[in-house]
């Protein structure tokens, strides 16, 4: 059953990633990959809330499989983050590349920590 839930979540997360990425990037029109940055930070926050909720018994494992592993797994994208960072570097946009690498890691980890803390505060 878990595999089916993961697949269903991923079937929602992948097109959602594409649509959010395109919508955010269209609004900014810059070389910086704001769309990928956004989906990675939002996905990290959602996963943090789910894992934090599961840790205190408020979120069932089936929901973690559906939304955490499936949806967030397909919504977030480390490979695109890596590719876009390398592409920026190769295009001579070294500041953008370094900022993307540093800010993405810090923001995504921070969002996950905030998500866990929020879940624990809500459900503890």
What token pair was written down for 84?
A: 């876009």
Q: Which residues contact 1 (CB under 8 A, 6 or more apart)?
A: 62
Closest of 63, 57, 97, 65 to residue 81, by C-alpha: 97
Do the annotations mark residue 73 as ligand-binding?
A: yes
Do the annotations mark residue 76 as ligand-binding?
A: yes
Helix/strand/coil (H, E, C) string of 26-62?
Answer: HHHCCCCCHHHHHHHHHHHHHHHHHHHHHHCCCCCHH
Tokens 């894992």 label which residue?
51
Q: What is the dihedral of CA 49, 50, 56, 59, to 10 degrees?
A: 130
Binding residues for Na(+): 73, 76
Binding residues: 73, 76
């Amino acid at each position: 059953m878990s595999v089916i839930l993961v697949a269903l979540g991923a079937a929602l997360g992948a097109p959602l990633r594409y649509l959010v990425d395109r919508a955010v990037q269209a609004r900014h029109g810059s070389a910086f990959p704001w769309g990928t940055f956004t989906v990675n930070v939002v996905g990290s926050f959602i996963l943090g809330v789910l894992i934090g909720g599961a840790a205190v018994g408020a979120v069932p494992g089936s929901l973690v499989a559906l939304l955490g592993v499936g949806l967030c797994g397909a919504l977030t994208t480390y490979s695109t983050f890596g590719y876009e960072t390398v592409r920026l570097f190769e295009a001579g946009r070294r500041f953008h590349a370094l900022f993307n690498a540093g800010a993405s890691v810090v923001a995504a980890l921070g969002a996950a920590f905030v998500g866990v803390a929020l879940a624990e505060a809500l459900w503890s």
